[in-house]
Structure 1
Amino acid sequence: MQDLKKQNYTSPRLLADIGGTNARFALETGPHRFEAVAVLACNDYATLDLAISAYLQSDAVQGICLQPVQHAAIAIANPVNGDQISMTNHHWAFSIQTLRDALHLQTLLVVNDFTALAMALPYLENHQRIQIGGGQAQPERVIGLIGPGTGLGVSGIVPAGKQWIPLSSEGGHASFSPADAAEVDLLKVIWREFPHVSAERLISGMGLEIIYRALGELHADGADASLSAADISRRALDGSCARCRQTVAHFCGMLGTAAGNLAITLGATGGVYIGGGIVPRLGDFFLQSAFRQRFEAKGRFANYLAAIPTFLITAEYPAFLGVSAILAEKLSLADNAAH
């Protein structure tokens, strides 16, 4: 890996992790030293430009920025191909070049949020992750990443000498694969509304709501179809709603199957990590769920999967680690080219 300590931080670097619901910002004042961390609701701002400007004008930022920010990196929940960005699960759209000019930046790097999160994995410390089940990571092997939030992020990193190469993936939009008769019944109901049911359609915040409604329709029990994902999770965890517990149980099992598929597809014998905003909030419910059993349930390849460890990321702002590393590499290459 690159030596971040050799980087020159003449002014703070702006880092952002933009999801479909929240925009997280920080100033990096030294290698992996994040200050003035703030979380802004995306719906409170008409554009990303306005959200960034509000952050940069905050008292916390003004107290740190003795010099203008020159370099910035944004991790965003969206494919990044070319200059034009249009978010999948939010209405923000922008030109990278226009945004860079508006913010008077020398450098503006925009990458997929799970590409950034994947690059954070080598920097996570033991207390920033929890292992679920058995297995042991093989050194210098591919590592997989999957995480449900507003959508379903999928990525991974591939070792290349002393560096890691992140994958730019939209694997969350691969077709959902039912693993048992109960999920087939759910899928038949959901197909009535969505001709293509992706993994993201069910393994996400909106997925919790869709699964809950489909279960209510299957059992004709008069379930409250207006419940939000947050309500469903809360009622499942406090034990006040059996249908909510069943919903979250299905969600955890589906995630296990998707994570196992990812492990086999990538050959991720370096481990598979679970990110996103939903799973860390499930606590013991997730740890005791069918996630790991479903991860390993791959027939003749059950032993192969059993040897691969799965980890839940518990770090509060892990994407900052990854987007910082990507920006540092870009600036290092630019500096080497200049000399």
Structure 2
Amino acid sequence: MTETPWALVGDIGGTNARFALVEPGSGTLNSIAVLPCGDYGNLDVAVRDYLQQTGAGEVRRACMAFACPVHDEMVRMTNNPWVFRKAAMRESLGLDLFKTINDFTAMALGVPSVPSEHLHPVGDGMADSQRPRLVIGPGTGLGISALIPTHHDWVPLETEGGHVDFAPTDELEVAVQQTLRARFGRVSVERILSGQGLLNLYQTLAELERASVRLHTPEAVTEAALQQEDPLAHRALRMFCEILGRVTGDAALTLGSLGGVYICGGIVPRFLDVFRDSPFRRAFEEKGRMRAMMESIPVYVVTEPYTGLLGAAQALDNGEV
């Protein structure tokens, strides 16, 4: 592989670091590998191991997405101990270009490159290709981004929309908010619309109903709900989907996302059929006088596992990022 002047792209989370090689001017991913972050002391050690495994030789250009803020010179990973200065890391890896972007900015940039077989519609609607696209995804946290079309490219919006206030709409949700506020103080939507948020929701419903808490991980809550083994888990999952529908609809209204809504992240693809039958789409559309507009917006669940890498590849040569 040493004959090709490869560029390196990465999608670095709290648990895993995903890497791939791309040729100049190409968004095609080659030699994809997923390395556990815990096996490496820092990013440069992981990169060198990856390049050795692939036999890629020297790379001079890299773009990497990180699950943490990246606007400062110092990058501190939120959910793993990696810390580095950008200039020092670029020098350590011998790079001419070391581009850093937020992981959900990469997710948004990757959406236009996702194959159609990995886009699963939820409800109806027809996208307007000249209007913004909303990209949202519950996972470890709640990521929200958007793509704004220009004459030549897409401009991604880097936001912290997952940290807006949770706005309850009925008595049960008010009780949920009050219970969570007693635990956390301020209650953002991420306190509910994330892996930990689903567990928070299940535990809160149990507390409100004075029921025993049998499940202790988000995965256990999801599995119990899907297998219909626990009515409380089933209620928590449906409530999760309904609140996600309202929050997604609010974001689509705010951004004017007539170009479509794309749901990414690691949670929703695990229960796609249940999600389609959930209150999500109804809650998404119930926006009063704006209902007709909301009904016209298509929503897709993205099941492409390397959307972030696709976005990092696009960001290499995207002058708007």
TM > 0.5: yes
1:68 maps to what in 2?
58
2:151 maps to what in 1?
161
1:245 aligns with 2:234: yes
- Runs of 5+ in structure 1 lacking a partner? 1-8, 334-339
Q: Which amino acid aligns with 2:17?
A: A
TM-score (norm 2): 0.93
1:12 aligns with 2:6: yes
Distance 1:44 1:183, change over 3 A: farther
1:25 aligns with 2:19: yes
Distance 1:184 1:170, change over 3 A: same
Distance 2:196 2:220 in 1: 12
Distance 1:231 1:130 in 2: 25
RMSD: 1.8
Distance 2:77 2:164 in 1: 18
SS at match of 1:255: helix
Q: Which of 274, 280, 288 lines up with 1:291 in the alignment?
A: 280
Identity %: 39
1:183 maps to what in 2?
173
SS at match of 1:78: coil
Asked whether the equivalents of residues 89 and 151 of structure 1 are also in contact (C-alpha less than 8 Å), the reply is no
Q: Which amino acid aligns with 1:53?
A: R
Q: Which of 289, 293, 314 lines up with 1:325 in the alignment?
A: 314
Asked whether the equivalents of residues 179 and 257 of structure 1 are also in contact (C-alpha less than 8 Å), the reply is no
Distance 2:179 2:158 in 1: 32
Asked whether the equivalents of residues 224 and 230 of structure 2 are also in contact (C-alpha less than 8 Å), the reply is yes
SS at match of 1:196: coil
* 1:323 positional shift: 1.1
SS at match of 1:167: strand
1:93 maps to what in 2?
83
2:138 maps to what in 1?
148
Distance 2:270 2:176 in 1: 25
1:311 aligns with 2:305: no
* 1:282 positional shift: 1.3
Distance 2:130 2:81 in 1: 39
Cα deviations across residues 226-280 of structure 1 (Å, max 9, x unaligned)? x111111122112222221112111111111111011001011111110011111
Distance 1:199 1:16 in 2: 28
Distance 2:297 2:16 in 1: 32
- Larger mean CA deviation between 321-330 and 138-147 belongs to 321-330
1:217 aligns with 2:212: no
* 1:161 positional shift: 1.4
Cα deviations across residues 146-176 of structure 1 (Å, max 9, x unaligned)? 0011111100011111221110111111112
Distance 2:43 2:188 in 1: 27
Cα deviations across residues 286-319 of structure 1 (Å, max 9, x unaligned)? 1111111111111221222111111111212112
- Larger mean CA deviation between 34-43 and 153-162 belongs to 34-43
* 1:57 positional shift: 2.9
SS at match of 2:136: strand
Asked whether the equivalents of residues 18 and 309 of structure 2 are also in contact (C-alpha less than 8 Å), the reply is no
Q: Which amino acid aligns with 1:245?
A: H
TM-score (norm 1): 0.88
Q: Which amino acid aligns with 2:316?
A: L
Q: Which amino acid aligns with 2:65?
A: A
SS at match of 1:73: strand
Distance 1:246 1:38 in 2: 37
Distance 1:256 1:91, change over 3 A: farther
Cα deviations across residues 188-236 of structure 1 (Å, max 9, x unaligned)? 11111111111112101110111111111111111126x1111111221
Asked whether the equivalents of residues 14 and 67 of structure 2 are also in contact (C-alpha less than 8 Å), the reply is yes
1:137 aligns with 2:127: yes
SS at match of 2:149: strand
Distance 1:216 1:329 in 2: 48
Distance 2:77 2:177 in 1: 27
SS at match of 1:157: strand
Query: Relative contact order: is structure 1 or structure 2 higher (C-alpha 8 Å, sep ≥ 6)?
Result: 2
Asked whether the equivalents of residues 133 and 148 of structure 2 are also in contact (C-alpha less than 8 Å), the reply is yes
- Runs of 5+ in structure 2 lacking a partner? none
Written as runs of structure 1 = structure 2, the 5 A alignment for 1:186-197 is: 186-197=176-187
1:104 maps to what in 2?
94
Distance 1:277 1:177, change over 3 A: same
Distance 1:109 1:222 in 2: 49
Asked whether the equivalents of residues 143 and 272 of structure 1 are also in contact (C-alpha less than 8 Å), the reply is yes
* 1:72 positional shift: 0.9
SS at match of 1:94: strand
Asked whether the equivalents of residues 79 and 170 of structure 1 are also in contact (C-alpha less than 8 Å), the reply is no
1:53 maps to what in 2?
48
Q: Which amino acid aligns with 1:285?
A: V
1:78 maps to what in 2?
68
